[in-house]
Amino acid sequence: MGILPLPDIRISYLDVKSSGVGTASKTFTFGAITVNATDTVYTKFRFNQWDLTFYYTPLRKRFLTASWGLGAKIIDFKGRVTSLTTGNSDSKSAVIPLPYFYAKLGSQFKFLKAYVEGKGVTAGGNNYFYDLVGAIGVGYKFTKTFGVSLDAGYRYQKYRVDNVSDVSANTRIKGGFGVFSLNFSF
């Protein structure tokens, strides 16, 4: 019986903030207030995310790699909704832990790389999330254990949470991104 090698570890942080004024398209409840359809609404949200991923890369071919693993996402949520029509306002905050499955498929040629990766989990019914990324980049390894990379791509996240820590949400976060990474491998 062999010993399972230690997995690689990835730690990442995503800072998401949003605020704006708009018109409610339907009546909804946020905390202790009810916002009516057609109310003018000011919203401000913070949706910061820490990810800790443990993964293996069992497929390492010349131009193709495939990784899989498990991880945990910690979401630090804080939101404020104000109906500018009625003047009513409330805020909510929660720290939400989400375990997930992780998969990545990538290709690299010299300094250039491209990859797609996904994270996600379902907790039955109305509680799930997924995070999909497609990116290209450049990277350089200074030693066998240390390198840097600069990537740009597109991310799509979808969260559906029904009454977790007294928070319910149906949220999409999407758009282009850029990232600078320090890479350590052992």
Residue 182, pLDDT score:
86
3-state SS string for 36-102: CCCCEEEEEEEEEEEEEEEEEEEEECCCCEEEEEEEEEEEEEEEEEEECCCCCEEEEEEEEEEEEEE
DSSP label at residue 2: P
Token pair 């570890």: residue: 9
Q: What one-letter code names the amino acid at 36?
A: N
Asked if pLDDT for residue 7 goes beyond 70, the answer is yes
pTM of the model: 0.82
CA atoms of 138 and 3, how far apart (whole Å): 34
In the chain, what are the domain boundaries? 8-184
Residue 5, pLDDT score:
86
Residue 97, pLDDT score:
87
Percent of the chain topping pLDDT 70: 96
**b/e per residue, 27-51, with b = 16+ CB within 10 A?**
eeebeeeebeeebebebebbbebeb
CA atoms of 3 and 11, how far apart (whole Å): 25
**What is the distance between the terminal CA atoms of the chain, rounded to a whole angstrom?**
23
> CB neighbours of 82 closer than 8 A, spacing ≥ 6?
41, 42, 43, 88, 89
- Which has more pLDDT, 12 or 165? 12
**pLDDT tens for each residue of 99-151:** 999 999 999 898 999 999 999 998 777 888 999 999 999 999 899 889 999 99
Asked if pLDDT for residue 166 goes beyond 70, the answer is no
CA atoms of 94 and 114, how far apart (whole Å): 35
Residue 165, pLDDT score:
63
CA atoms of 68 and 184, how far apart (whole Å): 18
Q: Which residues pair with 81 in a beta bridge?
A: 43, 90
CA dihedral over 7, 65, 108, 155, signed as positive or negative: negative
Residue 83, pLDDT score:
95
**pLDDT tens for each residue of 172-185:** 999 999 999 988 77
Region of 165 on the Ramachandran plot (φ > 0 left; ψ -120 to 50 alpha; else beta): left
Percent of the chain topping pLDDT 90: 67
